Structure 1
Amino acid sequence: MLVAFSVAPSGTGNSDGSVHDAVAAAVRIVRESGLPNRTDSMFTTIEGEWDEVFAVIKDATEAVGAYGSRVSLVLKADIRPGYTGELTAKLDRLDAALENDG
């Protein structure tokens, strides 16, 4: 499965609304998990089995919780049993389709 998630604290007390330190704590946990992952400006996507993916997301969410009085968590999942490597394979198929259109 692929799970894209965004996690951020609120009630941080930062007047500029910056949450980069909290997000860095979450991304560090994802990267140290050893699971395939990708982070962009909006979401971190992680690939693996249910239990391992959600354990990492739980740990990342708890790490962010140290930076504020509340935590916001947004999840989107693509559950496709029997497939692996979809973190890059989906993009490869998209690129191929774009090349064929041109």
Structure 2
Amino acid sequence: MLIAFALTPMGVDENVADLVADAVRIVRESGLPNRSDSMYTMIEGEWDEVMDVVRRAAEAVAAKAPRVQLVLKADLWPGMDRPLDGKIALLEQRVADAP
């Protein structure tokens, strides 16, 4: 499974980078394949292990912010090998094969 999620600390000053960094650090320390970009952090793994990491990341932000918004998107694709990279490889192949 592949999860893309974003945590938004609410009720804090405009500089939320430190709080978001706390969450990303938890994801990276999980050992699961992951990638962060300017809008989402993606994490790959089994349902329970991925959701545990998302929960711990949200709790880390909630420990320093009075409110946290979580946006979560899941791709449940049985049989997709390594979806974090596999989906991009599939897309790139399709782009290269286009007339």
Deviation (angstroms), 1:5? 0.2
Q: Which runs of 5+ in 2 are unaligned?
A: none
Q: Secondary structure at the match of 1:81?
A: coil
SS in structure 1 opposite 2:27?
A: helix
CA contact (8 A) 2:20 2:61 kept: yes
Q: TM-score, normalised on structure 2?
A: 0.94
Instruction: Show CA shifts across 1:26-76 (max 9, x none).
Output: 000000000000100000000001100000000000001122110000000
Shift of 1:96: 1.1
For normalisation by structure 1, the TM-score amounts to 0.91
- Mapped to 2, the partners of 1:8 and 1:62 lie a distance apart of 12
Match of 2:34 among 20, 37, 42: 37
Task: In structure 1, list runs of 5 or more residues that go unmatched.
Answer: none
Shift of 1:81: 2.5
> How many residues in Structure 1 have an aligned counterpart in Structure 2?
99
Runs (4+) of structure 1 exceeding 4 A deviation are: none
AA partner of residue 90 (structure 2): R
Identity %: 55
CA RMSD of aligned residues (A): 1.1
